[in-house]
Amino acid sequence: MYRFNFQPVFDNLDMLAYGAWLTVQLSFTAMVIGLVVSVLGAVAKTSGIRPLRWIVDVYVEVIRNTPFLIQIFFIFFGLPALGISMSPNTAALVALVVNVGAYGTEIIRAGIESIPQGQIEAGRALALTPTQIFRHVVLKPALRNIYPSLTSQFIYLMLTSSVVSVISANDLAAAGADLNARTFASFEIYLALTIMYFLLALGFSTLFGTLRRVFFNYPAGR
């Protein structure tokens, strides 16, 4: 009969909490930078500049059709052969940004292409500049349309960030692995990690829901 022992978890809650905080920092930073990459990639894909579209197409297809683990290994172990060395945490951030940027590009591209051409023509008729048309007529309604899909991808990014522990990056999964190596209370530790990741996902979901109400729930006539 297995005897449950959660004492190692309770004794090291501060260590796990710090790991969770590092996961939040890493994930949130990757989300913000990844959103910028996604918007730029979507603009490039919907532009009329063919070489730019081809470059983004190659980037998106390569990232979406290769495992995230291999991407991390390539960035952390492969790039030093070209003279590009990074710390584990930096490599983890770059890998997450590159990954979410590819998926986000396709999501935002779909949102941009969902905007009726008539709305763009109306913006031109009102003498709006191309920048104003893109910001107010195209991008904001597009983000509103694809917001649930985009935020779901961001939450998935947070959960995927647990993989970065394989290159010794500091996060919740790494903290759990270190604790398990010292105490061998595998069931208890990974049950605690499961609960903590679940709570983190709920926290991000609540945050994104609040942001949606603040920024996107405006009257249809505005």
In a domain, 200, yes or no: yes
User: Helix (H, G, I), strand (E, B), or coil: what is residue 106?
Assistant: helix
pLDDT tens by residue, 156-202: 999 999 999 999 888 999 999 999 999 888 999 999 999 999 999 99
Helices and strands counted in the chain (H then E):
10, 0
In a domain, 163, yes or no: yes
Token pair belonging to 140? 């904001």
Region class of 127: left (phi > 0), else alpha (psi between -120 and 50), else beta? left
Q: How confident is the model at residue 217 (pLDDT cuts 50, 70, 90)?
A: low
Cα 69 from Cα 148, distance rounded (Å): 26
pTM: 0.88
In a domain, 220, yes or no: no
CATH number where 33 lies: 1.10.3720.10
What average pLDDT does the segment 3-16 reach? 92
What pLDDT, on a 0 to 100 scale, did the predictor assign at position 219?
46
In a domain, 9, yes or no: no
User: Into how many domains does the chain fold?
Assistant: 1
In a domain, 166, yes or no: yes
**Residue 76 belongs to domain spanning:** 14-215
In a domain, 205, yes or no: yes
pLDDT tens by residue, 33-82: 999 999 999 999 988 789 999 999 999 999 999 999 999 999 999 999 99
Using only the alpha carbons of the chain, give its radius of gyration. Answer: 21
Q: How confident is the model at residue 151 (pLDDT cuts 50, 70, 90)?
A: very high
In a domain, 38, yes or no: yes
